[in-house]
């Protein structure tokens, strides 16, 4: 299987994760023009599972190092399989709340609040679960990113003055998503031997196997979580599963693409965690808030017509994010 052999490459993989996790929301925004988020989310989950299988049978099976996917899956202990599967269930609960928040209040609020909160709590949980990297720089980097998120939120608040109010429902959904999302990564990381991907301890899994079991947890739990979301939607009338099959092929493919993008980020993050450590891999990946803000500002023009102070606050946010992410990278060097 493919294994990251040095820290610099691990950081590069984490940057790819950051862009994948910060960009998948665009697919929901594209689909939302004609498609309810509950229908989009079925395609998204299918995309997650498909990419986990693709990576498992390619990067996870080729090469001389480590165990191949099928061999690794056969020897995995029940407790480790259960841990990764539970990670998938927890993630799906959080991500469907985040998708609902995007539907209610947009990426501009859902990502800074939800993903930002997940970053802060998740880095602490993963660091104390598997300490790796210099803690002073890790937590200093996280602190700067938190301040950056606050500036980002303030910028949006200023931009909304005189137009519309922030949705209390959207904020509540985002906060709930962030708290739950901070937990999932630790369960997946715990199912792997982070100290030795080449020859993992007996019963432990390689990143590719762990991500597949995780994706399976996402897929299976979606029959519960998304069914509830369809019957009790946060916006609009309840919808039936029959409506899903009336969607256009291109609309379905947009949702699948969103899932593929997110799972690519997850896979790269897990591959990098052996060299970078779980806390740094997760923290850099959740720098996705910066990427989503860039999408909103530069592509979707969410700040068009905003007061000058909003642009100034966003500039400060970008600077703090770059410094904070740099400290996370340095912490593991």
pLDDT at site 88: 98
Instruction: For residue 75, give every residue at least 6 positions away whose Cβ sits within 8 Å of its Cβ, in sequence order, or none.
Output: 67, 202, 203
Dihedrals φ, ψ of 205, to 5°? -110, 160
Among 73, 85, 93, residue whose Cα is nearest residue 188: 85
DSSP alpha helix (H) spans, the chain: 7-23, 25-31, 37-57, 69-75, 78-105, 107-110, 116-129, 135-160, 168-190, 207-231, 249-276, 278-285, 288-294, 308-332
What is the DSSP code (8-state) at residue 295? I
Every domain of the chain and the residues it spans: 7-332
Distance separating alpha carbons of residues 89 and 295, to the nearest angstrom: 28
Instruction: For residue 308, give every residue at least 6 positions away whose Cβ sits within 8 Å of its Cβ, in sequence order, or none.
Output: none
Dihedrals φ, ψ of 111, to 5°? -70, -50
Q: Rounded to the nearest 10 degrees, how much is the dihedral formed by the CA atoms of 72, 92, 107, 326?
A: -40
The neighbour count for residue 249, using CB atoms within 10 Å, is 7
Distance separating alpha carbons of residues 189 and 80, to the nearest angstrom: 10
| pTM of the predicted model as reported, rounded to 2 decimal places | 0.91
User: Could you list the pLDDT tens digit for every one of the 333 residues in the chain?
Assistant: 999 989 999 999 999 999 999 999 899 889 988 899 899 999 999 999 999 999 999 999 998 888 999 999 999 999 999 999 999 999 999 999 988 888 887 776 787 788 888 988 999 999 998 888 899 999 999 999 889 878 877 887 787 765 556 678 888 999 999 999 999 999 999 999 999 999 999 999 999 999 999 999 999 999 999 999 999 998 889 999 999 999 999 999 999 999 999 999 999 999 999 999 999 999 999 888 888 878 878 887 777 888 899 889 989 988 998 899 899 999 987
Residue 129's Cα: distance from chain center in Å?
19
Answer for the pair 60, 208: CB distance below 8 angstroms, yes or no.
Answer: yes
Q: Rounded to the nearest 10 degrees, how much is the dihedral formed by the CA atoms of 79, 84, 86, 89?
A: -160
pLDDT at site 208: 97
* Token pair recorded at residue 230: 């369809």
Express the helix, strand and coil content of the chain in percent, nearest 5 each.
Answer: 75, 0, 25
């Amino acid at each position: 299987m493919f294994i990251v052999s040095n820290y610099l490459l691990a950081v590069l993989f984490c940057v790819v994760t950051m862009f994948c996790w910060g960009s998948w929301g665009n697919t929901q925004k594209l689909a939302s023009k004609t498609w309810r988020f509950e229908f989009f989310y079925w395609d998204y989950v299918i995309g997650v599972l498909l990419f986990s299988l693709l990576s498992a049978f390619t990067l996870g099976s080729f090469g001389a190092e480590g165990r191949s996917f099928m061999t690794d899956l056969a020897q995995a202990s029940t407790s480790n399989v259960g841990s990764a599967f539970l990670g998938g269930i927890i993630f799906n609960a959080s991500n469907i709340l985040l998708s609902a928040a995007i539907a209610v209040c947009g990426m501009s609020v859902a990502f800074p609040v939800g993903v930002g909160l997940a970053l802060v709590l998740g880095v602490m949980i993963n660091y104390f679960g598997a300490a790796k990297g210099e803690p002073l720089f890790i937590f200093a980097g996280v602190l700067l990113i938190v301040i950056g998120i606050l500036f980002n939120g303030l910028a949006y608040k200023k931009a909304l003055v005189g137009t519309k109010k922030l949705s209390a429902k959207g904020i509540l959904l985002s906060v709930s998503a962030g708290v739950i999302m901070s937990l999932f990564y630790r369960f997946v990381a715990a199912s792997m031997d982070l100290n030795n991907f080449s020859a993992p301890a007996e019963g432990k899994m390689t990143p590719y196997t762990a991500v597949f079991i995780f994706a399976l947890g996402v897929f299976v739990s979606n029959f519960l979580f998304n069914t509830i979301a369809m019957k009790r939607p946060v916006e609009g009338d309840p919808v039936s599963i029959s409506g899903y099959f009336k969607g256009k092929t291109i609309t379905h493919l947009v949702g699948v693409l969103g899932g593929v993008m997110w799972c690519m980020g997850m896979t790269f993050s897990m591959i990098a965690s052996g060299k970078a450590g779980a806390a740094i891999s997760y923290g850099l990946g959740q720098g996705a808030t910066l990427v989503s803000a860039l999408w909103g500002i530069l592509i979707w023009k969410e700040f068009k017509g905003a007061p000058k102070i909003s642009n100034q606050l966003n500039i400060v946010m970008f600077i703090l994010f770059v410094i904070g992410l740099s400290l996370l990278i340095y912490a593991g060097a």
